[in-house]
Amino acid sequence: MSRATHRLRHLRVAVALLVLAGFTVAFSDFRRLLPAGLGPWLASTQLIPSFVALATGALFALGGVLAILLTLLAGRVYCSALCPLGILQDVISRLADLVRRKPHRLPPAKPLTWLRQLFLWGTVAGVLAGWSGLTLALLDPYSNFGRIAATLFRPVLTLANNLLVDIAAWLALPGPNRIDVPWIGADLLVLLPAAFLVLLTVMTVLRGRLYCNTICPVGTLLGFISNRALFRLRLDQSSCTKCTECLRHCKAQCIDLRTGTIDASRCVACYDCVSACDQGGINYAFNWKPVPAGTAPVTQVNGSPIDPRRRTFLASAVGAAASMTLAGKIARAAETEATLIPALVKSGEDSRAVAPPGAGSVSRFIDRCTSCQLCVSACPTQVLQPALLEYGVAGLLKPRLDYNASFCNFDCVRCAEVCPTGAIERLLPEEKQGVQIGIADFYRDRCVVVTNGTDCAACSEHCPTKAVATEPHGDNLRLPVLHQDLCIGCGACEFACPVKPQKAIIVTGRRVHARAKRLVEKKAVQPKSTEDFPF
Amino acid sequence: MKTRRDFIKTGLALGAGFSFIDLGGVFAAETAPVPNGPPTPDAPRPLLVAVRDGDRVAMLDKALGTLGGIGAFVKPGQTVLIKPNMGWDVPPERGANAHPDLIRRLVTLCREAGAKSVSIFDNTCDQWERCYANSGIAPAAREAGAEIVNGKDESLYRETEIPQGVKLRSAKIHSLVLDSDVFINVPVLKHHHGTLMTAAMKNLMGVIWDRRIYHRTDLHQCIADLLTIRRPALNIIDAYHPMVRNGPRGKTADDLIELRTLLASTDIVAIDAAAAKLLGHQPDQITHIKLAAGMNLGRSDLDQVDIRRFKLA
């Protein structure tokens, strides 16, 4: 048994490293290094995104359900092996140990149950109050990791890639392609994830998995559930010599040698204590039947007839279920609003930010997106950029289309393919090509053709639906002419427009997405093809 | 945005500092040599081959045979650049890019002629990797032994003075255009909402870094001005099914008509003049053709061109 559980730690470390590496590459730039499906597949294992997807009916995502079943089986394995933010903390700890040159010894500590409850129920309340987008974006561990990886790791890895390009060129070997460095600058978009990483690092260095056991609502939910886990780690009092070696290795500060108990709600199932114990004193034990009060160490602390942990567990389960249902209702209401808007022309419902095609409407999108940045990393044109306040406070760091950076590639549906919450609905390419996410406005007085008297039509050239065509103008010139009903708001015209400082064609986002008209033309016959050469 | 651009620039400067590839021309403007240029305007009448009614490969072989074979252009050990039009993320049947069959055949011929290397790139309009892949050109060219070069890597472009340019006085030009021994231009014939037509001359907008400068300054004049730096040794226009409306991107395959034609010439202006006629225009209606002819960069008067016509069926 001892050797078997010993191997568990190796297995946990191996899985965790693979998961962290996979996520890091996925959030950096997996188009070039990893199979396209890996990022979304990894993200589908994550609890909150898959709950959002399942509750809103957007995707049949079972990641969260499986995480709960796994926790019921063996405790918070999820927190040590599958949660990238949890694994990142373990890496930070190891790095801190390297700096200190010896492992940091954490004393056992009491659980901060009230704080955990506050954050868990605060999250539930936030979702119920209709602030799911902001609440989940701030507290979902996966999305917090995503923002750190996409904003802070990605530029560094891109620079490393570009260094490889130079080395390969020097050696005259085929190398990778140079990638534009996704640098956002020292503004809030970088400072927010950076501040979070600093907070996380300080908490980790000082108190191990304190973040997971106070702030993280997923940690708290799984913690309360693991109080009922089928298998739990248990101290074997007969072999324990109270050498405190296990305490030295416990990052959750959850082992109490005086009472001989391990607080299952805080134990993240890292198995470090198991491998640290020479005596084989810590093992997984089957724990389904509640042991009679007072006889087993596990129940000593709560031998009273009313088990507070059971109440917490039940309350958590009910709370999770209720929030999922209600979130679903809220989201479906928003969706109805989105689908009812008939075909277009300016609704007067402008949005400062352009939401990606498949978002349905800005409100639906903000409710469902957890700001994980996976689509921002995956977007081949990099038109998707995190918003600051363009969507309002609730839309903080959610992706928007930035037509200064690029434009939305007509045939591409990559963002929807990777979105783990279904906030960006998976449309078929031909559906996506008809979704009007914004509408262009043409400012004739600024157009080069008018101001300069020379041909341009960069806007029309790039327009995939030919909402921007041209008409004869002046002396053998062609002036852009815009048909707003055909415009899908992809921003190709705005991006291509050469006019400075203000462009002559500018797209405004739609609060509620609509369907653009599609112009069907007959097969071209002019100029009439002859059997001979015209010269 | 500004911050990011500045950062990239700094990064590139740093990169150049410790990279060992030839980046000597990145910051110092330079005048490029014009190897393998076409005949000067005073030379004998330029040759233009027009072939009809065969498949693309058969028409290419016929045209090249008439021009003296690939060996007349590519000598053993030379480096070759083929610049196809592959600016759009659409499949070959949409006619927005040169056809992969043509590029595959051309790469194969260049390799057989002993070319040291054959490179392919385009500074695309749509996302470059999608264009390269979905046009079918990158896979076909790679299979035939070409090197696929990233057209969106700014470090590969060199700021170059254009002393003879009327309005375009300098531009960042792809180093392969400046450095390759042989430069072959393979556009596809299309309608264009801005310039009325796009073929050989307009295709070369894909070798400069910032196209917006052209659009801002004077599109037609800049297209002509670039030719004073280097004209391709060989131009091949894919006019099998030219796009006659909604160009240059096109909306559907209904925007194409079937002409089953291929043009090849050493004279980039003459070939565009002939292409204009295929689309029912007079060469002088296309302003950049008129301007380039006026600058003696080639001939737009087809009476001054030795045209060889072939029908394969």
The domain limits of chain A are: 2-230, 347-515
First to last CA, chain B: 56
Interface probe, candidates B89, B127, B152, chain A, greatest A C-beta count within 10 A: B127
Whether residue B196 lies within 8 A of chain A, CB to CB, comes out as yes
Band of the pLDDT at A33, cuts 50, 70, 90? low
Q: Do B127 and A409 touch (CB under 8 A)?
A: yes
A130/B contact by beta carbon, under 8 A:
no
Collapse the DSSP code of A97 into the 3-class scheme (helix H, G, I; strand E, B; otherwise coil) and give the result. Answer: helix
What distance lies between CA B93 and its chain's CA centroid? 20
Nearest-angstrom CA–CA distance, A373 and B23? 35
- pLDDT for residue B40: 53
Query: A380 to chain B: which residues are within 8 Å by CB?
Result: 127, 129-130
Within an 8 Å CB–CB cutoff, is residue A185 touching chain B?
yes
At residue B50, φ and ψ (nearest 5 deg) are: -120, 125
- pTM of the prediction? 0.87
Alpha-carbon distance B231 to nearest alpha carbon in chain A (angstroms) = 23
Amino acid at A324: M
Instruction: Tell me the shortest Cα–Cα distance from B23 to chain A, in angstroms.
Output: 11
Mean pLDDT per segment of 10 residues, for chain B of length 313 residues? 50 43 38 45 82 96 97 97 97 98 98 97 96 97 96 95 97 97 98 96 97 96 98 98 95 95 98 97 97 96 96 91
From B31's Cα to the closest Cα of chain A, the distance in A is: 24
CB B232 within 8 A of CB B34: no
Establish if A269 touches chain B: CB-CB under 8 angstroms: no
How many other CB atoms are there within 10 angstroms of residue A345's CB atom? 12
CA distance B13 to B5: 12
Burial class (CB in 10 A: 0-12, 13-18, 19+), A35: exposed
CATH no., domain A347-515: 3.30.70.20
Q: Does A457 touch chain B (CB under 8 A)?
A: yes
Test the B interface: residue of A173, A410, A456, A487 with most B CBs within 10 Å? A456
Q: Averaged over A416-444, what is the pLDDT?
A: 95
Between A107 and B25, where is the model more confident?
A107
A17 to chain B nearest CA, in Å? Answer: 30
* Shortest distance, CA B305 to any CA of chain A (angstroms): 11
Question: What average pLDDT does range A416-426 have in this prediction?
Answer: 94
Surface of B (209-268) touching A: CB under 8 A: 211-221, 244-246, 248-249, 251-252, 254-259, 261
Q: Going by C-beta distance under 8 Å and a sequence separation of 6 or more, which residues neighbour residue B137?
A: B84, B86, B97, B98, B100, B103, B120
Distance from CA of B66 to the nearest CA of A (A): 17
Is the Cβ of A464 closer than 8 Å to some Cβ of chain B?
A: yes
Give the Å distances, CA to CA, from A78 to A53, A95, A234, A420: 19, 22, 19, 17
| CA torsion, ordered B299, B302, B303, B304, to nearest 10 deg | 20
Query: What whole-number distance in Å separates Cα of residue B292 and Cα of residue B274?
Result: 14
Considering the domain delimited by B32-311, tell me its CATH architecture.
Answer: 3-Layer(aba) Sandwich (3.40)
Q: How many helices (H) and strands (E) does chain A have?
A: 23, 11
Over residues A243-260, mean pLDDT: 90
Cβ atoms B284, B25 nearer than 8 A: no
| Residue A361 DSSP class | B
Q: Which range is least confidently modeled, A232-241, A291-300, A405-414, B150-159?
A: A291-300
Q: With 80 as the cut, is the pLDDT of residue A89 above it?
A: yes
User: Cβ contact (<8 Å) for B126 and A410?
Assistant: yes
Is A206 a residue whose pLDDT tops 50? yes
Residue A336: predicted pLDDT? 44
CB contacts under 8 A, A 505-524 vs B, are 519, 521-524
The residue of chain A with its CA nearest to that of B271 is: A535
Instruction: Report the distance separating Cα A396 and Cα A388, nearest Å.
Output: 5
In a mutational test of the A interface, the residue from B193, B285, B307 whose CB has the highest number of chain A CBs within 10 Å is B193
Residue among A180, A458, A535 minimizing CB distance to B215: A458
Percent of chain A with pLDDT over 90: 61
Contacts of B125 in chain A (CB under 8 A): 461-462, 496
Q: Does B66 touch chain A (CB under 8 A)?
A: no
Residue A80 DSSP symbol: I
Mark yes or no for CB contact A461/B150 under 8 Å.
Answer: no
ipTM at complex level: 0.86
Question: CB B196 to CB A178 under 8 A?
Answer: no
Chain B residue with the nearest C-alpha to that of A405? B1
- Window 147-186 of B, Cβ < 8 Å to A: 147, 150, 152-153, 155
For chain B, the farthest-separated pair of C-alpha atoms sits apart, in whole angstroms, at 60
CA distance B1 to A402: 10
Picking from B4, B125, B245, the nearest residue to A183 by CB comes out as B4
Distance CA A256, CA A267 (A): 12
Nearest-CA distance B196 → chain A (Å): 8
Whole-number average pLDDT of chain A: 86
Record: contact A409-B215, CB cut-off 8 A: no
Segment (H or E) for B171:
strand B170-174
Mean pLDDT (whole number) for A451-464: 96
Contact with chain B for residue A526, Cβ under 8 A: yes
Q: How far is A395 from chain B (nearest CA, A)?
A: 20
H helices within A211-271, ranges in order? 217-226, 245-249
Give the list of residues 6+ apart from residue A531 with CB closer than 8 angstroms, or none. Answer: none
Give yes or no for A173 touching B (CB within 8 A): no
* A498: chain B residues, CB-CB within 8 Å: 212-216
Highest mean pLDDT among A184-193, A293-302, A348-357, B219-228: B219-228
Beta-strand pair B188-192/B196-198: antiparallel
Nearest-Cα residue of chain B relative to residue A187: B3
Question: Which residues of chain B neighbour A163 with C-beta distances below 8 Å?
Answer: 15
Give the residue among B155, B152, B150 at the shortest CA–CA distance from B22.
Answer: B155
* A460 CA: distance to closest CA in chain B (Å): 6
Does any CB of chain B come closer than 8 Å to the CB of residue A218? no
For A483, residues 6+ apart whose C-beta sits below 8 A from its C-beta are A466, A467, A468, A469, A519
Q: Does the beta carbon of B304 lie under 8 angstroms from any beta carbon of chain A?
A: no
Best residue in A156, A376, A533 for a mutation probing chain B (most B CBs within 10 Å): A533
The chain A residue lying nearest B310, using CA atoms, is A533
Instruction: Please give the Cα distance from A331 to A58 (Å, whole number).
Output: 10
User: Scanning every residue of chain B, which has its alpha carbon at the shortest distance from the alpha carbon of A518?
Assistant: B251
* pLDDT tier for residue A301 given thresholds of 50, 70 and 90: very low
Count residue pairs from A and B with Cβ separation < 8 A: 162
Q: Are strands B234-243 and B182-186 parallel, antiparallel or unpaired?
A: parallel
